[in-house]
Amino acid sequence: MVISRRALLATGAATVVVAAGLGGAALGHRLDDLARNVGIEPHKEPDPADDRLIARVAADQNTLLAQVEALAVKHAKLGLSPFVAISTAHAKAVGVPAVVPDIAAPPANRAKAVDALVAAYSAASKARAADSVKAASPALARVLASMSAGLAQCARGVGELR
């Protein structure tokens, strides 16, 4: 049995939409749009703990996306566009908040900037792996486990830019 990317991410998005409906106001109407785009209906009885988990993951991943984007602009020669694309995909999978998170300015020194991004990806990878084990929904567990592996790949990929 092969699990399709579209089906799995759609299931994750359904849970996020319900989280927004239950009071995750920061997630906003864009999540409804995301659900419509993948042709799904919100899950009728989501696990409240999963809703909270997704809201936290969405905040984390969008902060990471903001860090990668800021660093990609400041150090354009690093060629970080593939990593921006991956972080964008991660953020979209769990929901994009209405407000762009505040982040510290990226280091001016190239080596320190790379080190900071490697550390951020590594920390996010470990966090998503731990989150996967906490998830009640098997579909959410898979999305988070896969995301963790993708983040580990990013950590290594960015590290090779040193």
Partner 1 sequence: MTSTETLQDWLALEHEAVWLYPVIGARFGALAERARTSYDDHGTVRDGLLARLHQLRVEPVPPALSYDVVRVRNKARALAAARQLERDIAAVCLRLAGDSTGDLRTYATRGLRRAALAELTWGGRPDAFPGLP
Is there a contact between 4 and 12 (Cβ–Cβ < 8 Å)? no
Q: Could you tell me the smallest distance in angstroms from the CB atom of residue 116 to partner 1?
A: 18
Residue 112 CB partners (closer than 8 Å, separation 6+): none
**61 near partner 1, judged by CB under 8 A:** no
DSSP state of 25: G
**16 near partner 1, judged by CB under 8 A:** no
d(CA 107, CA 87): 19
85-114 footprint of partner 1 as x/- string (CB under 8 A)? xx--xx--x---------------------
**162 near partner 1, judged by CB under 8 A:** no
**78 near partner 1, judged by CB under 8 A:** no
Unique residue bearing structure tokens 């660093």: 71
Q: Could you tell me the smallest distance in angstroms from the CB atom of residue 118 to partner 1?
A: 13
Q: Judging by beta carbons within 10 Å of its beta carbon (0-12, 13-18, 19+), is residue 133 exposed, middle or buried?
A: exposed
Which residues contact partner 1 by CB under 8 A?
1-5, 8-9, 82-83, 85-86, 89-90, 93, 125, 129, 132-133, 138-139, 141-143, 145-150, 152-154, 156-157
